[in-house]
Structure formats: structure tokens, C-alpha cells
Homo-oligomer: A and B are copies of this chain.
């Protein structure tokens, strides 16, 4: 009984005994350091992961060895949904910052789902959110130019982090992997934005003006 994982998800507390967590700090949450892999594409999907603190990214690596980040998993998010269906992981996940993660074994997760209707709702809700998030990414990659993609990502980070001033949780190259751009283009464009006074930028620290985030979710239009 010493180790269990408890995560709030869409208002519902997900709790599950968690063998792997026994005796670890933080009530059974696992500690990952920047760059640590959480799970690997092509291996058996045997657990769902709830991110308590820090960021993960899901990636797929192309045959040519290039990484494409598919999803940014923020604190409060779930990763490794494949485990609920069975089969293999279709992406790899790794920590891009130090992170606390709760590992919920497949059997445990399924049992929880069967017993508690509220958890069902929570998980479906989370899945739908993630789906919509990935769709957003498709929109960026398919129709937007470099500058707009970068702004969109910055806005998303600000929104998820709850502040207009924040530290980028990743390198230029990692940003580029999310955006389908090269690291040079990311660097250049960020400086372009700074030169135009549209953002404040100092190393990894970013500050967005209200204007950029404000007319946001309404529609994305009237960019000013």
C-alpha cells in the first residue's frame, strides 16, 4: 500500500496502486530527467503515463533519422493512450524538462475504468482534448508559414503555462521538431519577431505582449 499514483484529470481524481512506484518519493511518482525516455515506439504498450510536473514530448523518428515531435504533453496530460487499446506504442516519449510522472499499468487503468464511470468520462475527455490538440498541429503544419507556426506554439505554451512571460522548456532544435522547421529558421524568426518588437526575447526567456495572445481562441483571425 505504500505506493500509489493519484492524478487529477478533468476534475476527477485518478488513483491507482502502482507496483513500479513502490517506495519511491512523491507518492509513487516516477522521476525523469531531461532527455530520459519514458517509453519507446514499437514496444509493448503496457502502461499509461500521467504527467504531474514537467513536459514530455511524443516523437516519431523518420527512416532518415529526423525527429518529428507529434505532441507536447503538458503537466496534467496523459500519454501512452495506446495502452488502453492494446498493441504497441506508436510514438516514443521522452522528458524535455525534468519531470514527475505517474505510471499506471494497463491492467490497473482498465480496472479503474470499469469500476468508475467518472474515470471513463475523464479519460475520454482527455483523449478528445489530445485529439484536438494534434489536429491543431496539423493545421499549423499544413497551412501556416514559419512565423505563424512559431507564434502559435508560443501562444500555446503561454496559455498552458498561464503566463505571458515564461521560460521556453526546450532548445531551438526541439522547437523546430514540433514545428516542422529547421533550427536555423526558428532562431532567425524569433529574432525577427524581437527586432519588430512583437515579442521580448532573451535566451530562453520569452515575453509575449497581450496583443499576441488576446485575440486568441476566439477564432484565430483578426491577427491585428
Query: Chain A interface (Cβ within 8 Å of chain B)?
Result: 42, 58, 60, 62-64, 66, 68-71, 81-82, 84-85, 87-88, 90-91, 113-114, 117, 120, 123-125, 127-132, 134-135, 137-139, 141-144, 177, 179-180, 219-223
Known: A63-B220, A219-B63, A221-B88. A139 touches B82 (CB 8 A): no
Residues on the B chain within 8 Å of A62, using CB: 139, 143-144, 220
Q: Provide a sorted-by-A list of 18 A–B residue pairs whose CB atoms are within 8 angstroms.
A: A58-B135, A62-B143, A63-B220, A63-B222, A63-B223, A68-B142, A68-B143, A70-B139, A87-B221, A90-B132, A91-B135, A113-B120, A124-B124, A130-B131, A131-B131, A137-B138, A138-B138, A143-B180
Residues of B contacting A66 in the complex (Cβ-Cβ under 8 angstroms)? 143
**In the assembled complex, how far is the CB of residue A48 from the closest CB belonging to chain B, in whole angstroms?**
11
How far is B142's CA from A94's CA once the two chains are assembled, in angstroms? 19
| 9 shortest interchain CB distances as A-B pairs | A142-B180, A141-B141, A63-B221, A68-B142, A85-B128, A85-B125, A70-B135, A127-B127, A68-B143
Question: In the complex, what distance in Å separates the CA atom of A142 from the CA atom of B144?
Answer: 12
Task: Write the chain B residue with the least CB distance to A178.
Answer: B142
A62-B220, A70-B138 known; 20 new pairs, CB 8 Å cut-off, are: A42-B219, A62-B139, A62-B143, A62-B144, A66-B143, A68-B139, A71-B135, A81-B131, A84-B125, A85-B129, A87-B221, A88-B221, A90-B135, A120-B120, A124-B127, A131-B134, A134-B134, A134-B138, A141-B141, A142-B180
What's the minimum C-beta distance from A194 to chain B, rounded to whole angstroms? Answer: 24
Residues of chain B within 8 A (CB-CB) of A42 are: 219
- Give how many copies assemble into the complex: 2
Query: Which residue of A60, A63, A128, A179 has the most chain B CB atoms within 10 A of its CB atom?
Result: A128
